[in-house]
Chain A
């Protein structure tokens, strides 16, 4: 077991400051990279590490970097850090930036050097107002110590990091919408191709990576890509931050070695501490609200009866029929008091609100989903609404420019697949489900077969 790589020193008093972070071994990766490595060698280490994008998609980072168009030296290249963390259930990047900001700044300096980005932007969601100050202070400190600015460590490489604020739009976490927003426009995703690696910020070659991905470059450089790849199982290498919330005893952000058994993560006192005392495990959305919801028993064990691991592959085993996804690591646990219909309605409202409005299937479809779920939840639904929901979800999925449409459709499809009885109950007994707080207690007894 590797133990913690990113959060090892998070509880050290004063770790937010450059001096304490440095005293704990910080900025070694910058020293090593700038003094002993060429930019391509850094990229090779990242490739060897097997690091996959930590924002949700899980795309290999080294490969993404290698796509960056280096054939036009007259055009600047940009690195943009995606700190727009808005996926319900996800608050890991916030924790990292708030309490140990220099690990991100260090990762950004090394990555900017590797990619040749002289102006690097951190696009942070606007609501994290106090974290903007924390990041700007950290950047100022790094600059004062010669780790940013002109001619860093005598290499001739110049780099500035700027913090850009969003203004409350989930869609700006999608990389092309983020770039539009960074250019001062509405966050409408762009049609791909061209990909940002060729036509990104201001039409220049650009790499967009998540906060945690860029922070992970620090241990990769320090320990070497091969060593990093030894942590984990198969193609899920290294450590991952998981933000755990919902009905558990110990909500919070945990750094785990990928490959940890899910049972241990959920139930041991070192991590989530189990389902909140006195309650039973009903369902889980383990990777942020966009990934399929699955019942607790299918989460702990696959249909074949194998215990699941916290890896990209194991969580998706069984596909959409009985599996889910690692996603962003937003781990939302629900006990038997949870009304699946109400929870889904809340998520449908979220996606409807956050749809940018560009593609009709998403703009109209998310509204329909919200409306139908609202009437089911409030006692005005019909039995045929359930199939209508499935039908609409199918028509959104795959028919939009960006993945927000899929993200809105998957939770609906999976909730109905696994908890159809609850939807039917809502249609059959409207009087019992109407009323704002009637949603939980009235029917859970009759549906106890569903809960574990």
Chain B
């Protein structure tokens, strides 16, 4: 991997406490079960993606081999293996969203941001992706942004999202009223 995370790789005290809590959910010796939740935690804490050193760090916390973390991180689509923008827009592109016109919205967003799917804007603010069914078929078309779903999307709503979520105080853990 060309890119890497900068700075020291160590969870905050709060996250380390969370790690201990998660490991305690499983029987003794089965701490590997904590791998998926802790990779999520790591992705959140270390700039939204998992570099090799971050995965090594997670593996060391669970006393497993680094390869065990890599094989999981590469299998599941929610783990980002390269840097992403602060606002990651993940459009659902599967059947029901397709019926409700998601392709036009993706085109529109690509043009508006001047990037293609899977690219980051030069200022590091946005990344757009197309993902498979997010379980929001009744409110299609939709996208996941950070922790929440934004549903029944229209071009007007995309305008608002780009306007609002490009600001420095954007927080992916807050549900915004669009």
Contact = CB atoms under 8 A, between A and B. Distances in A.
A343 B64 CA distance: 43
Interface stretch (A23-31, A33-41, A59-67, A83-91): A83-91
A245 B134 contact: no
A350 B132 CA distance: 6
Contacts of A437: 103-104
A50 interface: no
Given A86-B135, A126-B78, A346 B94 contact: yes
A167 B39 contact: yes
A130 to B, nearest CB: 6
Contact of B75 (A90, A165, A169, A251): A169
Contact of A181 (B36, B132, B138, B147): B36
Nearest to A165: B37
A125 B135 contact: yes
Contact of B135 (A127, A187, A246): A127
Contacts of B138: 91, 243-245, 251-253
Given A343-B98, A346-B95, A353-B132, A90 B36 contact: no
Interface in A172-215: 181-187, 202
B117 to A, nearest CB: 13
B137 A243 contact: yes
Interface residues of A, number: 59
Given A165-B40, A347-B94, A170 B132 contact: yes
B107 to A, nearest CB: 8
A402 B32 CA distance: 24
Nearest to B131: A168
A237 interface: no
Determine which residue in B72, B96, B103 has the highest number of CB atoms from chain A within 10 A of its CB, and name it: B96
Contact of A88 (B62, B95, B148): B95
A202 B30 CA distance: 8
Contacts of B107: 436
A332 B35 contact: no
A334 B78 contact: no
A167 B32 contact: no
B99 A164 contact: no
B111 to A, nearest CB: 13
Determine which residue in B37, B75, B144, B147 has the highest number of CB atoms from chain A within 10 A of its CB, and name it: B75
Nearest to B62: A184
B93 interface: yes
A208 to B, nearest CB: 15
B55 interface: no
Contacts of B10: none
Determine which residue in A89, A160, A167, A247 has the highest number of CB atoms from chain B within 10 A of its CB, and name it: A167
B99 A246 contact: yes
A166 B76 contact: yes
Interface in B1-56: 25, 27, 30, 32-37, 39-40
B84 interface: no
B108 to A, nearest CB: 12
Contacts of B57: none
Contact of B137 (A76, A127, A166, A330): A330
Contact of B32 (A76, A88, A184, A349): A184
A54 interface: no
Interface in B109-148: 131-140, 144, 147-148
Contacts of B95: 88-89, 285, 289, 332, 343, 346-347, 350
Nearest to A84: B135
A243 B140 CA distance: 13
Given A127-B144, A244-B138, A251-B138, 8 more contacts: A85-B135, A89-B137, A130-B147, A164-B37, A165-B37, A245-B99, A332-B99, A349-B132
Interface of B: 25, 27, 30, 32-37, 39-40, 62, 64, 68, 71-72, 75-79, 93-96, 98-100, 103-104, 107, 131-140, 144, 147-148, 175
Interface of A: 76, 85-91, 94, 119, 121, 125-130, 160, 162, 164-170, 181-187, 202, 243-247, 251-253, 285, 289, 330, 332, 334, 338, 342-343, 346-347, 349-350, 353-354, 356, 436-437
30 contacts: A76-B27, A86-B133, A86-B135, A89-B95, A89-B96, A119-B27, A125-B135, A126-B36, A127-B78, A127-B144, A130-B175, A164-B25, A164-B33, A167-B39, A168-B77, A168-B79, A183-B32, A184-B33, A185-B68, A202-B30, A245-B96, A246-B100, A251-B137, A251-B138, A253-B138, A330-B137, A342-B98, A346-B93, A346-B95, A436-B103
**10 tightest CB-CB pairs across the interface, nearest first?**
A167-B76, A184-B32, A168-B78, A184-B35, A251-B138, A245-B137, A168-B77, A88-B133, A186-B75, A162-B25
